[in-house]
Amino acid sequence: MTASELNPRTKHYEFLGPPGAFLISVGVTFMVYALYFGCSETSGGCPPPLELIPQRLTSSLASKSFWLSLFDAKGASYYFGWYAFCVVAWMLLPGDWVEGTVLRTGGKQVYKINAFSTFLLSLGLTAGTIWRFGFGSFTFIYEHWVGIVTAAVIMAIGQAFLVYAMSFRSGELLALGGNSGNFIYDWFIGRGLNPTIGYLDLKSFNELRPGLILWVLINISMACEQAVRRGGNITDSMWLVLVFQAWYVADGLYNEPALFTTIDITTDGFGYMLSFGDLAWVPFVYSLQARYLVFNQVELGPIMTTVVFLVNASGYWIFRAANGEKNDFRNGRNPKNLKFMTTASGSKLLTSGWWGFSRHPNYVGDLLMALSWSMATGFNTPVTYFYPIYFAVLLIHRQLRDEEKCSKKYGADWEKYTKLVPWRMIPYVY
Ligand SMILES: NC(=O)C1=CN([C@@H]2O[C@H](COP(=O)(O)OP(=O)(O)OC[C@H]3O[C@@H](n4cnc5c(N)ncnc54)[C@H](OP(=O)(O)O)[C@@H]3O)[C@@H](O)[C@H]2O)C=CC1
Ligand SMILES: CC(C)=CCC[C@@H](C)[C@H]1CC=C2C3=C(CC[C@@]21C)[C@@]1(C)CC[C@H](O)C(C)(C)[C@@H]1CC3
């Protein structure tokens, strides 16, 4: 196979092509800061009075001291120290090496499985620090928020350039969607499919370790800040957010091999969209509820706590059961004897169980969990509902991209499948 046969040019743009890629890159970076300045105690509320926003925005953007305040050497040293810890943990903690799915070359990428033990080590060190030195020893993330965000953004931009340059190494396998020849588009979407330094696969490493685990550490820091302010007492709402989100992260890390069949790993390149998503968006946007609860100490009471608990539990049940059924099936197991159809490509598609309910039942479970995390903050502001709203948009877009991929892969069989399983996500709704 020649190099151009293996890595054909991308002819079809997503996200409205290069202008869209540019605007999204700037827009999502701006959004991480906007969610802080638009929802914090220093800016006067969540959100601050709406009539003040335009004037504050223009005066801040025009002021040199504002731009300088985004960088903070201590915050940067915390972040880069944390990233280095994750790399060292990946290197030193024991873990099996497992193979991913078959690549276009016929080969397979190998991955070291120790994300969950990295998580346990981080939690152990954090718990030990708080136990020994008190809640006040772990509030530094709350105090250096903006500086830590900026360091994460610098890391994400730096990695996007690095992997773009690495994708020109000879023999590199490119993402089918990220080889358009347009710099800004390919830099955003990701040109290289599996950028690797030595044995370190950057895409899966970034997706599971430095951002996802940091999300939980941030939540712990927010809970510590709340405890300091309340004389050691943490609200029921903060406990719910802390426990549910830590559980969600632990589940993803514990099931690390399942990541290797997701669209990000099998299909998408590693560019700014993922480096930024993994390193900045996930930890600093997904932790908005916990940060909000520091300065809005909502007490839910037993009834609302039960409602939030039930929404989260049903979401998790659907999410885990659906992902479990698909993972078992893709690994050649069918313990529940689910019905399936065989396609001309040789691959089979489940048509009963959760995958008979809709074509993306796992997204429904994920969305229910997202909703429950926002419900834990009460109903005083729409800002803490940003996550489920953004997530619904992301998952609908993702589902459309996935269906396009499946329709190409399975051809007429996909048509047959969509007749057997007519609903995309929620029966009778979508
Ligand atoms: N918290 C967050 O921010 C995010 C979370 N997620 C979560 O990540 C998880 C992975 O999501 P994602 O990678 O998007 O997609 P899925 O895990 O749903 O995988 C989609 C693939 O599954 C296979 N498939 C589709 N239908 C069937 C069927 N009936 N039987 C068997 N296999 C089938 C197809 O691949 P093939 O047939 O080629 O094997 C398809 O491409 C989800 O649970 C999602 O909710 C995702 C994005 C963001
Ligand atoms: C706004 C922007 C730049 C978005 C980029 C999208 C990313 C934030 C998400 C793409 C797919 C993701 C997944 C998870 C986190 C969010 C991103 C990176 C995930 C690691 C969360 C935990 C789950 O258990 C998971 C492992 C299934 C999941 C995989 C996909």
268 within a domain of the structure (yes/no): yes
Which among 275, 299, 323 is the end of a domain? Answer: 299
**Sign of the CA dihedral with 405 first, then 406, 410, and 414 last:** negative
CA distance 286 to 348: 35
In single-letter form, the type of residue at position 280 comes to A
Q: What's phi and psi for 101, nearest 5 deg?
A: -75, 170
State mean pLDDT over 340-347: 88
Atom 25 (ligand 2): residue with closest C-alpha? 252
The pTM assigned to this predicted structure is 0.93
Q: Is the pLDDT of residue 3 over 80?
A: no
One domain for residues 289 and 335: no
Answer yes or no: is the ipTM higher than 0.90: yes
Domain final residue pick, 299, 324, 357? 299
If one residue of 14, 272, 275, 282 were mutated to test the ligand 2 pocket, choosing by the most ligand atoms within 8 A of its CB, it would be 282
Q: 306 and 214 in one domain?
A: no
Task: Give, using CA atoms, the residue closest to atom 5 of ligand 1.
Answer: 366
Q: Is 232 helix (H, G, I), strand (E, B) or coil?
A: coil
Q: How far apart are CA 384 and CA 387, in angstroms?
A: 7
Question: Domain range spanning residue 215?
Answer: 3-37+70-299
Of the listed ligands, the closest to the CA of 255 is: 2
Single residue among 299, 332, 366 that ends a domain in this structure = 299
Do 206 and 282 contact (CB within 8 A), yes or no? no
In a domain, 42, yes or no: no
Task: Give the pLDDT of residue 265.
Answer: 93
| pLDDT band, residue 268 (cuts 50/70/90) | very high
Q: Tell me whether residue 51 is in a domain.
A: no
Residue 45 in this model has a pLDDT that exceeds 90: no
- Give the pLDDT confidence of 385-424 residue by residue, as tens digits: 999 999 999 999 999 988 988 998 898 999 999 999 999 9
Residue 280 DSSP label: I
Residue 331, ligand 2, Cβ within 6 A: no
